Amino acid sequence: MESIRKITDKIVTAMNEGDIQSFLSVFSDDAILFPPNEPPKIGAALHDMMSDFLNRFDIHFERYVDEEIVTAGDIAINHYSYVWTVTPKAGGEPMKGAGHGIRIFKVQRGGAWKVTHEMWSSYPRSNKE
């Protein structure tokens, strides 16, 4: 489980720093993202979506919690929650949000854990919170 926590820490750090390469490095080549209110993103579409997002916004996680990590052989499931502020780099009001998500990890050839699937919810928070 420590391996999974290290990966989730890397994801949060990469997003906070806008480091798309570090962010993408934890995903398998065939990973699938299921963003809210959009079709699934696979391969190049996943890369394009996340590159665009991190190029347009500064991210600040105020809270990220691995609520649960369950492992079974070469599969791990991670339920997480987050509170963040997303600020447009081009200017504009910061947007506060929160949500929950599920990540599925699988051991790859060579023994490294990678994210193979991710789905999350997101809901706005008051800018006064």
Instruction: Kindly list the structural domains of the chain, giving each domain's residue range(s) and its CATH number in brackets, ordered by start.
Output: 2-124 (3.10.450.50)
Per-run averaged pLDDT (10 residues), the chain, 129 residues: 95 96 95 95 94 96 96 97 96 94 96 97 71
What is the per-residue pLDDT for 38? 92
Residue 102, beta-bridge partner list: 79, 119
What is the per-residue pLDDT for 45? 95
What is the per-residue pLDDT for 123? 83
Q: How far is CA 108 from CA 9, 44, 75, 111, 129, in A?
A: 19, 20, 10, 5, 41
Alpha helix (H) ranges present in the chain? 2-17, 20-24, 44-56
Structure tokens at 45: 């579409």
What is the per-residue pLDDT for 104? 98
Structure tokens at 49: 């979506």
Per the CB < 8 A criterion, the answer to whether 102 and 75 are in contact is: no
